[in-house]
C-alpha cells in the first residue's frame, strides 16, 4: 500500500502500525504520491492525508480518479477534520473511508483490512467476469465457425453435383461481401447495409444454389444446350432452394435468430431475377428484387463468366467487365454494377486468390 503524509511523525506512526502486516511505501507530498503510483508497483490501497501543502489530498484523489490506470485504487483519507461537509466532500470525490487523527491502531488495521478485503473481492469478481466474457466470446466464435462450416458443407453438397463450379461458393461469398461494403458508402444504402446485415449477406450467399440438389443429373450436367423443357427444370432450382430453407426454419419459434437464413431464402429464390424484369422465377423488376439477390446476381454472373464450362471457355476479366457494363440497367442493378467497377481490383484479386485447382 502507499502511505502519503507530509509530516514525518505521522509517517512513523502509521508505519509502525502497518508495516508488521503489509508492505508499505511512503510519499511525503501529493506530487510524489502521484509519481509513485505511476512509476512503482501499483498499490492495492492508498492512505492519503487531506491537509498537505501545495497539493492537498482532495487534489490528489481528483487526479487519481481522472486517470483510467489509477481510478479504481481505493483511498482512505487521513484527516483531523471532523465536519460532516468535509467527509461528504471526500466521499463525493471517491474516497472509500476516513481515519481521523489521533489514530487508534486497532481502528486503522480494521479499516485497512476491510478495504483490502473489498478490493480483493472486487478484483476476483472483475477477473471472473473477464474470464466469463472471454469464454462467451470463444464459444460464440466456435459456434459461428461451426455454423459457417455447416453452411458451406450444405452448399458444397449441392455444388458437388455440378462438377465445374470449383471454388465458386467461396468466390461469390467474397464478391457479395465486397459489393455490400461498397454500396454501404452511399447515403441510399448506408442505413440498410449495416455491418450486421453485410455479415448476414455474406453468410447466406453460399446457399444461393442449394436448390440444385433437386435438379436431375441429366439436366444439371448436360454438356450441350438445354431444351425448353430442360431449361424449365433448371430454373426450378430457385424455388426448390428457397422452399427447402423455409421448411427447415418455419417451425422455429425465434425467427429473429435465423435472420441470415431468411436472407439465404430470398437469395436462393431471387438471384436469377433481372433488373429489367426478364429473369426468373417470378419476373421481378428493379427494386422489387431483394437487394441481397441483386448483389448475388452480379457475383454469380461475374464468376460464371470467368469460369470454364463444358459449353464455353473462360472469359478474361476485361471481357467479363465489358459484358457486365452492357448489362447495367438491363440484367443488373446499375448501382451494383457501379459498386463492382469501384472495387474491380478487389474482384480481380479474389478471383486470382481463389482460383480453381484445375485452372492453376
Q: What is the pLDDT of residue 40?
A: 75
Which residues are within 8 A (CB) of 59 and not within 5 positions of it... i.e. 6 or more apart? Answer: 30
Query: Is the confidence at residue 107, as pLDDT, over 60?
Result: yes
Please determine, for residue 292, whether its predicted confidence score (pLDDT) is greater than 60.
Answer: yes
- 199 and 73 inside one domain: no
Question: Does one domain contain both 31 and 121?
Answer: yes
Write down the pLDDT at residue 223: 80
One domain, residues 10 and 106: yes
Give the residue with greater pLDDT, 301 vs 137. Answer: 301
Q: How confident is the model at residue 359 (pLDDT cuts 50, 70, 90)?
A: very low
Find which of 30-39, 62-71, 304-313, 322-331 is predicted with most confidence, using mean pLDDT: 322-331
Q: What percent of the chain has pLDDT over 90?
A: 58
Cell of 85: 461537509
232 lies in some domain: yes
pLDDT of 360 over the 70 cut: no
**Contact predicate 299/337, CB 8 Å:** no
Return the closest-CA partner of residue 11 out of 23, 22, 25.
25
48: Cβ contacts below 8 Å, ≥ 6 apart: 4, 33, 57, 60, 61, 75, 76, 77, 78
What is the spatial distance between Cα 67 and Cα 244, in angstroms, rounded to a whole number? 57
Looking at the structure, do residues 230 and 348 belong to the same domain, yes or no? yes
Mean pLDDT of 215-221: 87
Q: What's the pLDDT at 141? A: 78
Query: Of 128, 150, 179, which one is at a domain's C-terminal end?
Result: 128
So what's the pLDDT on residue 57? 92
Same domain, yes or no: 188 and 39: no
- Report the interhelical angle of 168-183 vs 195-204 (nearest 10°): 160
Helix axes 168-183, 334-342, angle to 10 degrees: 100
- Based on the domain organization, do 56 and 194 belong to the same domain? no
**Residue 311: which pLDDT band, with cuts at 50, 70 and 90?**
low
CATH number, residue 174: 1.10.3210.10
Summarised one tens digit per residue, pLDDT across range 34-86 is 999 988 789 999 999 998 998 999 999 999 999 998 998 999 999 887 666 77
Q: What is the number of other CB atoms lying within 10 angstroms of the CB of residue 277?
A: 13
Examine the domain organization and report whether 211 and 295 are in the same domain.
Answer: yes
Is 247 inside a domain boundary?
A: yes
- Judgement on whether residues 186 and 285 belong to the same structural domain of the protein: yes
84-93, 106-115, 291-300, range with greatest mean pLDDT = 291-300
Grid coordinates given for 238: 430457385
- 150 found inside a domain: no
Task: Identify the domain containing residue 320 by its residue range.
Answer: 160-359
Question: Which residue spans within the chain are E strands per DSSP?
Answer: 2-4, 25-27, 46-49, 75-79, 97-100
How far, CA to CA in Å, does 171 sit from each of 78, 168, 202?
A: 68, 5, 11
Q: Are residues 108 and 209 in the same domain?
A: no
pLDDT at 20: 93
Cis? peptide before 102, omega within 30° of 0: yes
Residue 135 lies in a domain: no
- Model pLDDT for residues 246-265, shown as the tens digit of each residue: 988 887 777 776 778 889 99
Strand order of the β-sheet with 75-79 is 25-27, 2-4, 46-49, 75-79, 97-100
Residue 134 domain flag? no
Parallel, antiparallel, or unpaired: how do β-strands 25-27 and 2-4 relate? parallel
Of 104, 128, 152, the domain-final residue = 128
Task: Identify whether the C-beta of residue 111 lies closer than 8 Å to the C-beta of residue 78.
Answer: no
As a whole number, mean pLDDT of residues 167-186 equals 94
Claim to verify: residue 65 and residue 17 sit in the same structural domain:
yes
Q: Could you give the 3-state DSSP secondary structure of residue 102?
A: coil
The counts of H helices and E strands in the chain are 16, 5
Summarised one tens digit per residue, pLDDT across range 6-28 is 999 999 999 999 999 999 999 99
Decide if 148 is inside a domain. no
Q: 83: Cβ–Cβ under 8 A, 6 or more apart, which residues?
A: none
Task: Check whether residue 76 and residue 215 sit in a common domain.
Answer: no
| CATH number of residue 47's parent domain | 3.40.50.2300
Whether 34 contacts 78, CB under 8 Å: no
CB 57 within 8 A of CB 51: yes
Give the mean model confidence (pLDDT) for residues 196-219.
90
What's residue 220's pLDDT? 85
In whole angstroms, give the CA distance from residue 305 to residue 309. Answer: 9
- 140 within a domain of the structure (yes/no): no
Is residue 155 included in any domain, yes or no?
A: no
Q: Is the pLDDT of residue 278 over 90?
A: yes
166 and 264 in a common domain: yes
Mean pLDDT value across residues 167-190: 94
pLDDT at 358 over 80: no
Using the 8-state DSSP alphabet, how is residue 290 labeled? -
* pTM over the 0.75 mark: no
Q: How many domains does the chain have?
A: 2
More confident site: 335 or 354: 335
Per-residue confidence (pLDDT) for residue 324, from 0 to 100: 97
Q: What is the pLDDT confidence band of residue 227, given thresholds at 50, 70 and 90?
A: very high
Across the chain, mean pLDDT equals: 88
Amino acid at each position: 500500500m502507499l502511505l502519503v503524509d507530509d509530516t514525518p511523525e505521522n509517517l512513523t506512526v502509521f508505519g509502525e502500525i502497518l508495516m508488521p502486516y503489509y508492505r508499505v511505501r511512503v510519499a511525503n507530498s501529493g506530487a510524489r504520491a502521484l509519481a509513485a503510483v505511476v512509476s512503482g508497483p501499483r498499490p492495492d490501497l492508498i492512505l492519503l492525508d487531506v491537509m498537505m501543502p501545495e497539493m492537498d489530498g482532495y487534489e490528489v484523489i481528483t487526479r487519481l480518479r481522472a486517470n483510467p490506470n489509477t481510478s479504481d485504487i481505493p483511498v482512505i483519507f487521513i484527516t483531523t477534520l471532523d465536519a460532516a461537509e468535509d467527509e461528504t466532500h471526500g466521499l463525493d470525490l471517491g474516497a472509500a473511508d476516513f481515519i481521523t487523527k489521533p489514530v487508534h491502531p486497532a481502528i486503522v488495521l480494521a479499516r485497512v483490512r476491510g478495504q483490502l478485503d473489498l478490493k480483493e473481492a472486487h478484483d476476483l469478481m472483475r477477473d471472473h467476469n473477464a474470464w466469463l466474457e472471454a469464454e462467451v466470446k470463444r464459444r460464440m466464435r466456435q459456434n459461428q465457425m461451426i455454423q459457417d462450416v455447416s453452411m458451406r458443407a450444405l452448399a458444397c453438397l449441392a455444388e458437388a453435383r455440378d462438377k465445374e463450379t470449383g471454388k465458386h461458393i467461396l468466390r461469390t461469398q467474397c464478391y457479395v461481401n465486397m459489393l455490400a461494403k461498397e454500396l454501404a458508402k452511399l447515403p441510399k444504402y448506408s442505413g440498410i447495409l449495416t455491418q450486421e446485415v453485410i455479415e448476414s449477406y455474406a453468410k447466406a450467399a453460399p446457399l444461393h444454389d442449394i436448390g440444385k440438389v433437386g435438379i436431375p443429373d441429366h439436366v444439371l450436367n448436360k454438356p450441350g444446350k438445354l431444351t425448353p423443357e430442360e431449361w424449365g427444370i433448371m430454373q426450378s432450382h430457385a424455388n426448390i432452394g428457397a422452399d427447402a430453407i423455409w421448411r427447415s426454419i418455419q417451425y422455429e419459434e425465434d425467427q429473429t435468430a435465423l435472420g441470415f437464413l431468411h436472407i439465404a431464402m430470398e437469395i436462393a429464390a431471387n438471384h436469377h431475377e433481372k433488373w429489367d424484369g426478364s429473369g426468373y422465377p417470378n419476373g421481378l423488376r428493379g427494386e422489387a428484387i431483394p437487394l441481397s439477390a441483386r448483389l448475388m446476381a452480379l457475383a454469380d454472373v461475374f464468376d460464371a463468366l470467368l469460369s470454364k464450362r463444358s459449353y464455353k471457355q473462360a472469359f478474361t476479366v476485361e471481357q467479363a467487365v465489358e459484358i457486365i457494363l452492357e448489362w447495367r440497367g438491363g440484367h443488373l442493378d446499375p448501382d451494383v454494377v457501379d459498386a463492382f467497377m469501384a472495387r474491380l481490383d478487389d474482384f480481380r484479386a479474389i478471383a486470382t486468390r481463389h482460383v480453381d485447382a484445375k485452372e492453376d
